[in-house]
Amino acid sequence: MKFMKSRAILLLLLVAGFAASCPTAFSDSDVDRVIIITLDSVNNKFIFNEYDNPGYVITPNVGLLVEHGSAFTRAEAGMPTKTQVNHVTTGSGAPPAANGVIGN
């Protein structure tokens, strides 16, 4: 278990280091910061469903973030659906079978 946690932390540090070493990738942009927010244990089909959550009445703060930013409305959880697995999958873009993190 300790090995998987240290492997996940190392992977996130590598991704962050790679992003920091590529300043020219965003040189033509006015964006000086990108904030990624992940909602653990929340089904995107509920948040972005006009029938269940019309006008974001149940999740007004998420609605404000979406309206004034952007959202990936077709996100799917990596299997198994564990916090660490999904955060590493989100950060790396690789599924658990490829990134090696299969549990918390």
Structure tokens of 45?
Answer: 């089909």
**What is this structure's pTM?**
0.50
pLDDT for 76: 73
Q: Is the pLDDT of residue 14 over 80?
A: no
H-run or E-run covering 8? helix 2-20
| 89 contacts 78 by C-beta, under 8 angstroms | yes
Amino acid making up residue 85 = V
Rounded distance between C-alpha atoms, residue 14 and residue 20, angstroms: 10
Q: Is the pLDDT of residue 75 over 80?
A: no
pLDDT for 21: 52
